[in-house]
Structure 1
Amino acid sequence: MQAESFRSKPVLGYGLAVGAWLAAFLLRAGLADWFPPGFPYLTFFPAVVVVAYFAGLRPAILTSVLSGLSAWWFWIGAPGFDWSVATGVALGFFAFVVAVDIFFIVGMTSATRDLEEEVKRSTALAHSRDLLYRELQHRVSNNIQVVSALLKLEAGITSDTQAKRVLNEAATRTALIAKVQRGLSDADGRATPFDEVARDLCADALAAAAREDVVVDVRDGRLTLTAEEATPVMLTMLECVNNALEHALPSRAGRIEIGLSEVGQERVLEVRDDGQGLSAGFDLNKTRSLGLNIVRGLAGQLGGQFLIEPGHPGVRATLTYPRQES
């Protein structure tokens, strides 16, 4: 039976007090011939400690009083209540020791109960916070998905070819942001590693481009992303993959390698392909590509740098940025 049962039900607590005293009394009586003079309380101290721990203050006081009186009558001096100075000193010693025992034991058990209650409250608050966070994440994702659907709807009814293309690209990017938001954590609220989300997004990109001849290999990606870095990193990765499909591997089979690593206080996203390489005179700072300009802006948002350089073979694109605190 747990200590809380004795504390919550006074009958059990006081029953334990009387039972512990009686057991200590019988044990002391049974060992009376074995004990030398001067040990009248030896079996009673443990009884007081046990009752103080399991039943609390008042039952412990009851055990102490019964123990003191029975020791005074039977084992301090001649049988009966002896009122000598020596007896008073012995009784005072007993009262002091049991008072100290009760004070510390009751105090520590009370502090332990308070700590347990605080832990329970903290756990409940943490659980509520996680539920609210996931609900917020879900709602944000849904709202972004609605924006994407509206952009697609607008693209479907416009007759301007250039506007249709821009709206479709915007719809695709907003849909990607929604998917990244949903992929930040799993059903249990644990942060999802980069490689799992990256493989899912790359599979969608290959399916959308109908490219079964291109292999995407995501490696070194067990790092998890914070909410602040997830969208910029994933958008950058997907833009690099789409560029590789469109420009580096437009009409032949190939391979794209993706990795996210941590070097000191920085994280490095690398997307490498084995395609036809950069065109002559390519300058990232002068490109008119909307996607690459967006990526440069995302790199600035992270306080990092985006580079595209020859990969020998193909192209090597890297995003380097300071590590975000989780």
Structure 2
Amino acid sequence: MQRSNARFVERLPLVLDRPIYAYGLTLIFCGAAFMLRIAAEPLLPNGYPFVTFFPVVILSSFLFGVRPGIFAAILCGLVSWYVFIPPFYSADMNPGVAVAMLFYTGVVVVDILLIHFMQRANFHLAVERERNRALAENRELLFHELQHRVSNNLQVVAAMLALQRRHVDHDVARKALDDASARLGLVGRISRALYDPSGQGQDIRAFLTTLTSDVLEASGRSDIKLTVSAPDGLTIEPAITVPLALIVAEAVSNAIEHGLPDRPGTVAVALEEAQGALALRIVDDGHGVAPNFQHGASESLGLRIANALAVQLGGRFSLTPGVHGGAVARLDLPARTAC
């Protein structure tokens, strides 16, 4: 309702392209004020000749602009002078009449000027709002175009790495190129889908669901069951999106590739919030990790990337054996990452 009222005020004065309507309606307002003043005559003490005419001047100026307001002020002033100021039904001028008319003139002039300046300010405000809206639309369009180009460039680089893989005979080198290509492709998809020019955070449940589905689809496995749980309505800062996505993707890919390489299984992604801090767990029921596994001493590129990204976020990443088998990848993030 407040927004509608603001839009109405910005459209004032009305019927500028048909001034005859404005003057006609102003004349009707003056006639109504005259009839109301006659009807109120028995209830009013002596004086108050202008009491019902001031609102007409204000309303006409507010709705139709300065000229209809001046027209209403002159017409109402003459009617009041002739009908309601002694001697009645005459246009005699005396000191008392002159003072009353000067008072009336001063009040209506101030009213008309104030309304005029207010409407000019509203007009400039509406113009500026429209300009800002156009700039915002252009900014959003340019932002999406930039994100589209960045994502496309990343996809091109990923495709080039995949092509280069065909000319490499060493298995380790081919595996490194495959991993690099997959990570670049993932970053490109995240950049395209999750960055928002408004700066608002992403809903973390939808984000994790989409991300893990993409990772599972990329793995080519249809025998893995993925579950995602997260608090309702929780969002994350845009700057956290890509690092967090890469960590989750590494953990889920690791669970599928190393924990469940040869049999069906389950991977559960669970997010918990406690006093603003976030704890993300990726649990699988696969082969697990060795009891003497040293997370910090691992030579796995994926784990090193996950550790580096966790440090970048001010958090901590760990990979430990599960209580009932399998493995648990855990990411703890400080409170500032939640919106």
Provide the residue aligned with 1:319 in structure 2: 331
The verdict on how the C-alpha distance between 1:30 and 1:303 changes in structure 2, with shifts beyond 3 A counting, is: closer
CA-CA distance at 1:23 after TM superposition: 4.0
Match of 2:143 among 122, 126, 133: 133
Match of 1:219 among 216, 221, 229: 229
Map of 1:244-255 to 2, 5 A cutoff?
A: 244-255=255-266
- Contact in 1 for aligned 2:77/2:101 (Cα 8 Å): yes
- 2:166 match: secondary structure: helix
CA-CA distance at 1:148 after TM superposition: 0.4
Letter in 1 for 2:328: R
**% identity of equivalent residues:** 37
Match of 2:81 among 38, 59, 72: 72
Map of 1:138-149 to 2, 5 A cutoff?
A: 138-149=148-159
CA-CA distance at 1:206 after TM superposition: 3.1
Letter in 2 for 1:257: A
Name the stretch that deviates more: 160-169 or 218-227: 218-227
- Contact in 2 for aligned 1:180/1:197 (Cα 8 Å): no
Provide the residue aligned with 2:247 in structure 1: 236
The verdict on how the C-alpha distance between 1:204 and 1:41 changes in structure 2, with shifts beyond 3 A counting, is: closer
Map of 1:1-326 to 2, 5 A cutoff?
A: 3-25=12-34, 27-28=36-37, 37-78=46-87, 79-184=89-194, 192-220=202-230, 222-313=233-324, 314-322=326-334, 323-324=336-337
Name the stretch that deviates more: 188-197 or 82-91: 188-197
Task: Render the CA deviation track for 1:217-258: whole Å, top value 9, x for unaligned.
Answer: 011065344442222111111111122123323333322111
**Aligned residue pairs, count:** 325
- Contact in 2 for aligned 1:269/1:320 (Cα 8 Å): yes
Give the TM-score of the pair, scaled to structure 1: 0.87
Letter in 2 for 1:120: E
Structure 1 Cα separation of the partners of residues 194 and 269 of structure 2:
18
Name the stretch that deviates more: 281-290 or 72-81: 72-81
Name the stretch that deviates more: 283-292 or 227-236: 227-236
Unaligned runs of 5+ in 2: 1-7
Give the TM-score of the pair, scaled to structure 2: 0.84
- Contact in 2 for aligned 1:273/1:315 (Cα 8 Å): yes
Name the stretch that deviates more: 120-129 or 139-148: 120-129
- Contact in 1 for aligned 2:237/2:337 (Cα 8 Å): yes
- Contact in 2 for aligned 1:145/1:174 (Cα 8 Å): yes
The verdict on how the C-alpha distance between 1:88 and 1:140 changes in structure 2, with shifts beyond 3 A counting, is: same
Task: Render the CA deviation track for 1:54-88: whole Å, top value 9, x for unaligned.
Answer: 11223212211221122112221123222222112
Structure 2 Cα separation of the partners of residues 101 and 4 of structure 1:
15
Name the stretch that deviates more: 33-42 or 57-66: 33-42
- 2:329 match: secondary structure: strand
Letter in 2 for 1:214: I
Structure 2 Cα separation of the partners of residues 285 and 31 of structure 1:
92
